[in-house]
Structure 1
Amino acid sequence: MPFDVERYQMLRRSTALGVRVRHREVTESTMDDARAGASEGDLPGTAYVAAQQTAGRGREGRSWVSEPGAGLWVTYFLEVPPPGALVSIAAGLAVTDAIEATAGLECVLKWPNDVQHSGRKLCGILAEATTVGGDSDVMEVYLGIGINLRTPEGMPADVLAIATSIEQEGRPAPAREVLLAALSSALEVRLRTLASEPERILEDWKACLVTLGQRVRLSLPGGATVEGDAVDVEADGALVVEIDGERRAFRAGDVTQTRAVD
């Protein structure tokens, strides 16, 4: 069904985030829509939603399957104080809040920003940040969030092995208006907490992070791979891995969890 902006506005409880929403039935990428909107004068807090993306993307330039009616595909245009890297952490927590509130499904987080249920990916988050006109005190962040509501027919087996959806987990998929209203409210709360109590966001993140306490294999940008025990995260979100008795911090990469640390 078409996105009902009026219904969304009636449900929304946020006071700044998602107050303005721009919807398209089909677009290449809501991330691109947000960048274009910002360049044309849209205000921070605007949400860009689409029923279908033909060129949706995730981390490391990967494509993101965004079939019509299968999920909530949204990008928020934000202006926040640095460091922008922590925005994706707050966003992961907000997504878990919104999914639990609207679908009754408890989710966990896998480093750096995958929302999971039953060990499979339910939501992906992509944050792209730039400074505003050389001002180091303000960052523009384009926060893309893709939540799987339903699993399209004919999905390849390799995708089904690593991805899931709210319906696939046995819960009715909430309407996109309902989920977006809950997400806008939850994200606004989490971002306010990030601005005032960043340590609280990190504590909540660590509590949801199933990567900690696991033996992990980390695939790094450039193709290198390391293996060790995920023991902690740093204040900027870096994953601390103990490798042969030495602790190293990693700020990018893909994690495969192999087993719990003995």
Structure 2
Amino acid sequence: MILAYDHLDSTNRVARELAVEGCAAGTVVLAGSQSSGRGQYGRLFNSPVGGLYFTLVLIPDLPLNALPLITLATGLACRETIQAVTGLEPLIKWPNDLYLDHRKVAGILCESVIPPVAGGAARVLVGVGVNVNSRVNDFPGELRPLVTTVREHVRASLPLQDLLPKFVHAIIDQVARLGDNRAAMLADWQRFDYLAGREVVCTVGTDVREGVAAGLTDEGRYRLRDTEGCVHEVIGGQLRLRAASLPEDSTVPGRG
């Protein structure tokens, strides 16, 4: 079932209400734009007309400790869909963003919902926002150096109604791999790791660490190797490239 709206405050909010009521797996909430789209840690995800904004409801047959990996599986699915449709080669920034030429082109927000009915299966809301046909000038001025769109790269508009099923099917397929082929899925993810081998800054609350990005653990955490060679596993927080790791004409993206 696809519920399509011209505009919503947040597709995840509507999907959450449906999930609490026990909606079926595969339910999709789609919006032409959002006024209060959310990203990681409650940050606003700007969603002008022309983007693809949807939330897919899943009932994954996975152990609880595997649920955080759905974000990574979704990132890989979105990356592969963009590549298949356009030939572009976006990279995935742990844990939930995609980048083209050091600028953000897509974001993901996954949330779990447990229906109040006794024995009700947990739902996972897979929220996706892709800057497809919007233009950089459609975003607030402070974001324009930090974002890009598919249209800016392919110099053409793409039919959003054709893209939606491609993204949905790819997400379902990659999430299924978490149950029967998790190691291979994580290995594929690391082939497109935006941060790998680069100097990064990790911020968790007031704690700030610097080091070299060293890829995923088997649990989907991110490894950071500090200047003394110690490896730290990052569970949450924001990872960003140090300015020294970027080309001279690039801007450090500000949202993780």
TM-score by length of 1: 0.85
Cα distance per residue 1:182-221 (max 9 Å; x no partner): 101211221222221000110001111021111111121x
Deviations 1:212-244 (A, max 9, x none): 111111121x23211011123111211111122
Q: Report the equivalent of 1:208.
A: 192
Matched, 1:73 2:53: yes
Partner of 2:165: 181
Whether 1:44 and 2:25 are equivalent positions in the alignment is yes
Percent sequence identity over aligned pairs: 27
Give the aligned partner of residue 230 of structure 2: 246
- SS of the residue aligned with 2:195? coil
Q: 1:154 to 1:47 in 2, by over 3 A?
A: closer
In structure 2, the residue matched to 1:97 is 80
> Which deviations, in whole Å up to 9, do the C-alpha atoms of 1:52-77 show, x marking residues without a partner?
11111100100111122x20000011
* SS state at 1:174 partner: coil
Gap runs ≥5 in structure 2: 246-256
Q: C-alpha displacement at 1:121, in angstroms?
A: 0.5
Higher strand share: 1
Contact 1:27 1:53 in 2 (8 A): yes
**Equivalent position SS for 1:161:** coil
Q: In the aligned structure 1, how far is the partner of 2:217 from the partner of 2:118?
A: 25
Gap change, CA 1:146 and 1:154, over 3 Å in 2? closer
Using the alignment, how far apart are the partners of 2:17 and 2:116 within structure 1?
A: 16
Contact 1:22 1:49 in 2 (8 A): yes
Q: Which moved more, 1:55-64 or 1:94-103?
A: 94-103
Residues 130 and 178 of structure 1, relative CA distance in 2, 3 Å threshold: same
Shift of residue 99, structure 1, vs aligned partner: 1.0
- Kindly indicate whether residue 219 of structure 2 is the aligned counterpart of residue 236 of structure 1: yes
Contact 1:102 1:174 (8 Å CA) reproduced: no
Q: 1:45 to 1:214 in 2, by over 3 A?
A: same
Whole-angstrom distance in 1 between the partners of 2:216 and 2:121: 25
Deviations for 1:166-193, whole angstroms, at most 9, x for unmatched residues?
A: 0112342321111111101211221222
Give the CA RMSD over aligned residues.
2.1
8 Å contact from structure 2 (residues 20, 116) kept in 1: no
SS in 1 for 2:169: helix
Please list every run of 5 or more consecutive structure 1 residues that lacks an aligned counterpart in the other structure.
Answer: 1-19
The question of 1:226 aligning with 2:206 is answered no
Distance of 1:94 and 1:199 partners within structure 2: 15
Paired amino acid for 2:175: L
Structure 1 pair 173–100 and aligned structure 2 pair: CA distance change class (3 A): farther
Equivalent of 1:117, from 84, 95, 100? 100
> What code does the residue aligned with 1:167 have?
R
Match of 1:33 among 2, 5, 14: 14
- Measure the CA separation in 2 of the matches of 1:99 and 1:43: 27
- State yes or no: 1:255 paired with 2:239: yes
Match of 2:128 in 1: 145
Shift of the 158–131 alpha-carbon distance from structure 1 to 2, 3 Å rule, reads same
Tell whether the 8 Å contact from 2:34 to 2:47 is kept in structure 1 after alignment: yes
Q: Which letter does structure 1 place at the counterpart of 2:54? A: V
CA distance in 2, matches of 1:136, 1:231: 40
CA distance in 1, matches of 2:115, 2:179: 18
1:150-165 pair list within 5 angstroms: 150-151=134-135, 153=137, 155-165=139-149
Give the corresponding residue for 2:40: 59
